[in-house]
């Protein structure tokens, strides 16, 4: 199989991150699968073609850990063609008067600062390498558009990811760096198990919401990743068809 490029995927030990890693690996990419737990990363690698996935233990909230991750990628592969900023958390949930400062800071650290730190090192690599350039895909979520009840930390950081995406896209133009965002609604992962069982709606009612196979979201990321660098999907929204998003509330 022809190697298509080198990618870093964060949050790769489970859920969407695992599916994205496997979609890239099976398509011929070499992937550094980043996450906090070596056992889950090795489980992801075991599902991929032999030698295509490098388990890379990293904590996106730790600047030194992120720097080490990209140093390992540089040493191992010599370049970086794709970063998928997928790591994220919605915990702790709550309204603005319910979430503590520590809880708020923990969500910001993973969802926003973690994405910034990874993009910071990725762009530096992409500017310096030959041939120059690459692509960043940020996982925005439906909450980058419309909140669920009691999700102030998650919603605020995902709105901020949209600003990060736009800024990287603009600033990257001169360096052949493309940046886009995928907004995913109700992919069937561990994070959406409660949604499938019954989620609080804007009117206070509880309703089980439909989900969809997360491999479709991974295929969408692969489509975005494999475009030539003179073409970019700026924003892509993929949802369960009948989820309460259009007309939510």
Active-site residue numbers?
Answer: 154
Backbone angles phi, psi at 199, to 5 degrees: -115, 145
Backbone angles phi, psi at 83, to 5 degrees: -120, 130
7, 54, 149 from 11: Cα distances, Å? 13, 13, 25
87, 154, 166 from 226: Cα distances, Å? 21, 29, 20
Residue 242, Cβ neighbours under 10 Å: how many?
Answer: 10
Helix (H, G, I), strand (E, B) or coil at 33: strand
Give the angle 83-107-184 at the CA atoms, nearest 5°.
Answer: 55
């Amino acid at each position: 199989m022809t190697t298509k490029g080198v990618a870093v995927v964060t949050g790769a030990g489970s859920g969407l991150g695992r599916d994205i890693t496997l979609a890239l690996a099976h398509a011929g990419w070499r992937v550094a699968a980043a996450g906090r737990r070596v056992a889950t990363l090795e489980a992801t690698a075991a599902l991929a073609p032999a030698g295509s996935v490098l388990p890379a233990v990293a904590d996106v909230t730790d600047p030194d850990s992120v720097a080490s991750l990209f140093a390992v990628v540089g040493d191992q592969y010599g370049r970086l063609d794709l970063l998928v900023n997928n790591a994220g958390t919605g915990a702790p949930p709550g309204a603005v008067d319910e979430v503590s400062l520590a809880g708020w800071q923990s969500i910001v650290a993973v969802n926003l600062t973690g994405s910034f730190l990874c993009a910071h090192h990725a762009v530096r690599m992409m500017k310096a390498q030959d041939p120059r350039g690459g692509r960043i895909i940020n996982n925005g979520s439906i909450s980058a558009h419309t909140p669920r009840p009691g999700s102030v930390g998650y919603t605020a950081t995902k709105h901020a990811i949209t600003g990060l995406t736009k800024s990287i896209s603009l600033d990257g133009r001169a360096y052949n760096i493309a940046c886009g965002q995928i907004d995913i609604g109700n992919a069937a992962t561990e994070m959406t198990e409660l949604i499938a069982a019954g989620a609080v709606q804007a009117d206070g009612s509880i309703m089980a919401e439909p989900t969809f196979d997360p491999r479709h979201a991974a295929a969408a990321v692969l489509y975005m990743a494999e475009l030539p660098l003179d073409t970019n999907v700026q924003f892509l929204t993929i949802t369960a068809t009948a989820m309460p998003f259009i007309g939510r509330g």
